Structure 1
Amino acid sequence: NLKIILGHMGEGLPYSMWRIDNRNAWVKTEPNYPAKKRIADYFHSNFWLTTSGNFRTQTLVDAMLEIGSDRILFSADWPFENVDHAAEWFDTASISENDRIKIGRTNAARLFKLEA
């Protein structure tokens, strides 16, 4: 039930899931860790990503394809990034309005139990 939030579109991890699991699959040595599932399975069920500091639409779409738009949260990364730049990018990113609403608000409300 652990929930982990990663900044900066997942710090590159979403794009390594296939490689991690592929590498682990062909190693003949029995793992010495208690995981019962593939690493990607845990990633998809226990991790959320934020947009913080990574305002590139292609990267957002890639993250949406890997983890789904239900597990991405809009954020700016102030004071390292300009909040206005983050908001302007997000408001015009080439994603559906449904995904924009989820990423911009409702995912965080659901994750943090902020809904009334």
Structure 2
Amino acid sequence: MYDHLGLQVKNLDASVRFYEAALGSLGHVLDSRDDGGAGLGPKGAPALWLYANAKAQGGSHVAFQAGDRKAVDAFHAAGLANGGRDNGAPGLRLDYAPTYYAAFLIDPDGNNVEAVCMA
């Protein structure tokens, strides 16, 4: 359904550092960068755009597909090591679905960021 998604961020450098690390574990890369923003996603096809805005207030929720549960674990660890805050350690979310394995982080701007594997 979606081609791309944009988030406004207060500190572009901090957000790029966080997303580059957390999404790198899911196979995504920093694909575009200038003073006003950055694009991350599969090489050659950025789908998450970060836009610098000193008045950004966060509050969005974004969930990324992970290829396996190890990638969810790596996403969570990398995010914590690069400015994210824990919002739900990796594990099954049986109240969502029997195979819903996810981890949640709060990014540097207060957005709830998730990696999920349904396998």
TM-score (norm 2): 0.26
Structure number with the higher helix fraction is 1
Q: Which has the higher strand share?
A: 2
